[in-house]
Amino acid sequence: MRFLLLLTLVIFQLNAETLIHTSVYIDGVSNDSKTNSTIIINDGKIKSISKGYLNPAGYEYINLKSYTVMPGLMDMHVHFGGEYQSKAERPVKVERETVAILAAKHAVITLDAGFTTVRQVGDSGLVAISLRDTINSKQVVGPRIFAAGKSIATTGGHADPTNGMSADEYEYPTPEDGVINGPYEAFTAVRQRYKDGADGIKLTVTGGVLSVAKSGDNPQFTEEEIEAVVEAAKDYGFWVAVHAHGPEGMKRAVLAGVDSVEHGTFMTEEVMDLMIERGTYYVPTISAGEFVAEKSKIDNYFPEIVRPKAATVGPQIGATFGKAYNRGVKIAFGTDVGVQAHGTNWQEFVYMVKYGMDEMEAIKSATMETAKLLRISDELGSLEEGKIADIIAVEGNPLEDISVMENVVFVMKEGIIYKDITK
């Protein structure tokens, strides 16, 4: 029922200039909220922000005085196209066409939750890239997507698509399929993603929780392989995000010059200091850790080879996050939805605050910091004159109770209203 409602989101294309009145707004840059202001939007961009309430006559008027207004949110770690299912719930097979249909559904749910920009870090290959293009051409509804295409792994590593298959069920995966061994193949894999139309690169430099393999944290790329990926990525203007739980894999990746470390479960102080020195972002995905830890308590929810990893890794992510934040590591918001349900992205804010982050810093991690990571901070990430008009509103004050981030009542992306339940 929820999906049917989301499909009928009322989309308003405003022709005249739009005027918004807000009594409280967070601009994504300042450490304090601002009050009693008028935002004027023209041609999809913020034309002006002025103190006080200007006369709305002659404008398309939106009254958001009863809500907290802020920039559109950004999630740096999503996986459209699926949600983790228990062994009992899992279908016998899932076709790529099914994944594409579900990805479109999840895009709508994500936009409805206030996330106007996401970074899709790994799928079957072309689903998110195709969805990105159809959203950009306004054929379907969803957030702005920056896509990595198929993740790059090593043989038997996390994101090797043939893990768990018997030898007669598959042909040896190639770099084009996302499996490399050696620096030469690293260049082939990156160039294939350029050919596919990706925006960046995702590497799985350590073991993973949900892969059908024993280790969740062993290093799975050599220093030379990661360096080759980064070198090739720079040739094509790609960012590089790395899935990493264990410290040795993280250290190799940070030294090689990657842009972000995802999860970072067993991050050491040495790795934190290297990240601070190199300016590497940390994308914590605490909510995914909490999810798998809780599900690990249920018999037969995970394969037995996965269950102990989920039980161990889950509780550690929050503790690591608190240490990294206090030490001064740069943090960008990311959830790993697709493990847990899409639309629950807001829960990450709650966990970030629970493990020690200030409410305003948590919001900025999903606005200006994420924009910096994506290299689009000149266009998005804050409510400032000249920026693209991605604007949301929530019921309540998240600086007093961060859980109100669940209560998104208004969503505007590029000056177009996709959700407005304030009327």
Does 105 lie in the same domain as 40?
Answer: no
Res 92 pLDDT > 90 = no
Res 357 pLDDT > 90 = yes
Which CATH number do you get for residue 263?
Answer: 3.20.20.140
Does 398 lie in the same domain as 368?
Answer: no
Q: Which domain covers residue 154, as residue numbers? A: 73-373
Q: What are phi and psi of 240, to 5 degrees?
A: -130, 120
Whether residue 55 lies inside any domain: the answer is yes
**Rounded to whole angstroms, how far apart are CA atoms 288 and 120?**
15
Side-chain half-sphere exposure of 271, counting CA atoms within 13 A: 26
Does 33 lie in the same domain as 103?
Answer: no
Whether residue 379 lies inside any domain: the answer is no
Res 8 pLDDT > 60 = no
Does 260 lie in the same domain as 141?
Answer: yes
Q: What's the confidence (pLDDT) of residue 1? A: 33
Structural domains of the chain, count? 2
Side-chain half-sphere exposure of 288, counting CA atoms within 13 A: 26
End-to-end CA distance of the chain: 22
Q: What's the confidence (pLDDT) of residue 167? A: 77
Does 36 lie in the same domain as 90?
Answer: no
Res 215 pLDDT > 70 = no
Does 302 lie in the same domain as 392?
Answer: no
What value does the mean pLDDT take over residues 250-276?
97
pLDDT one-digit tens code per residue, 317-331: 999 999 999 999 999
Does 28 lie in the same domain as 159?
Answer: no
CA 48 from chain centre, in angstroms, equals: 29
Which CATH number do you get for residue 397?
Answer: 2.30.40.10
Of all residues in the chain, the percent with pLDDT exceeding 90 is 76
pLDDT one-digit tens code per residue, 162-172: 667 777 777 77
Does 118 lie in the same domain as 17?
Answer: no
Strand pairing class (34-42; 45-51): antiparallel
**Rounded to whole angstroms, how far apart are CA atoms 130 and 175?**
21
The whole model's pTM is what?
0.93
Phi-psi region of 156 (alpha: psi -120 to 50; beta: other; left: phi over 0): left
Q: Which residue has the higher pLDDT, 50 or 97?
A: 50
Res 311 pLDDT > 70 = yes
Does 198 lie in the same domain as 270?
Answer: yes
Mean per-residue pLDDT of the chain: 91
What value does the mean pLDDT take over residues 229-246?
97
